[in-house]
Structure 1
């Protein structure tokens, strides 16, 4: 652009200085052509300033788009349940457990057809998995990172235990493309439906560690039966965003237990155990990632004629905001 401007000035000067023009012609040329050239150069300069301003705005827009893409790339979270109904077939080989009912899949990094989560960006991720199963069958599940065992959960079969619940969790540092999934060992099983056997995960950042309720002036998880903290037991979303919730319970095996994690009036996931005369106690829990609108309510619902053990430690309800949307 600068080169073109200087070229025009040079051309104008050369034109006016050429030999062979009489003095009167030069004066005429100066009076008629040179003012037009000055006007052109002014317009040309104004156009140049406008173009530079447009280039600046375009650069700012490109930077904003890059920031938005970077932000979207860090919003990764999913929850899924096995779906179907009934226990899985006892496969003769180790099998990847497929969670077909997708509860939420922000970033689309979880594949409901293969049961595999593939990390879209490097980072620290948090994963949980829970199961329900008949007590008369073996349960053996493993959280896998690529081909490596991360954590496991296991329960022996028993002739006098009606049902079992279990789960585990882990933080993992993943590179882009790393795969995380739940492997079910040969000849073991779980119970399938839309709520009870689940797999969840999320990409964490420093601001993610914000629990939903406050107690004693510091951030801490909500205890389901501590009504000084949460008199209603209901969490109300303060902002639209992606949230993570988990609950765990302890109960006597002499009574049935059935807890539902509810979003408004809908069941999200659940955990239950049957009553048995020979089982001293039971433990269970579940977790889910939820996309909530401002004002949505999340709470635990204890089904009629069921029970859990209530104290300050055993039966808990926790959650935190992953990111706003």
Structure 2
């Protein structure tokens, strides 16, 4: 009598991803793929995780202690995002659930976008396009949409991880910018020298930066790290660019600062409560708004999805996941 092949681990794809990524996952795992174009509702997420060993998420699906309690079969949470503030890693560790993210593969693409957003903000590019499209361009004038220079200016980087360092390299090497930064821990002297970067306390960073780019991870400690008090320290000619996470900047305070000219302009790819945007930010002209697309090149988004798939396959089929956030779980498995 022939025996049936062993059952394969079952997973939920909680977000739509590339069809070939789904096909590769199906070669190794039983896949339940969520097909919705909007984020999965929490009740449906919990229902579809019953009996599942793994879940593929992006940067928004909340994985917390209550969900883990309701989904006892879960063994792996693999995200295609680098940020993981939507995942309670400590709660996962306590229940023996491995968590992975996707660092590294999006560094350069995100830095490209961050620098582009900073330049669009400083040079008033989207404001100028709206002006032109409204038919208001009727003549040249010496101050028409005059913005701020990038070359030779002081670049402030808040959060000097992989992406922050990539932005610093672009500024220093490509545009001759003076680089100052703030981070919880300083870089080594050798790394600072290679980047031409100088560490400053946060208040001094805010005061000295001509162009501030925020790339610090979101946590309870970084919630509203840049608020009314910090914005008041900035030069009226300065710009602020946020490609980190919504909540690092107090959006209401920023909108007010932009309205009264406390700083020149802002570029935002992330927002508190996204996809909702604070209404006051929609009313000020000197802000560039984009829908959380800093990593959105096709090649990079594919690499992010493939890394999450690699981690799921390895974790659930006896391999070694590539980017574990709580590797101590592996030692007790």
- For this structure pair, what is the TM-score category when the shorter chain's length is used for normalisation? under 0.3
Instruction: Give the alignment's TM-score, normalised by structure 2.
Output: 0.25
Considering fraction of residues, name the structure with more strand: 1
Report the structure number with the largest CA radius of gyration. 1
Give the structure with the larger helix fraction.
Answer: 2
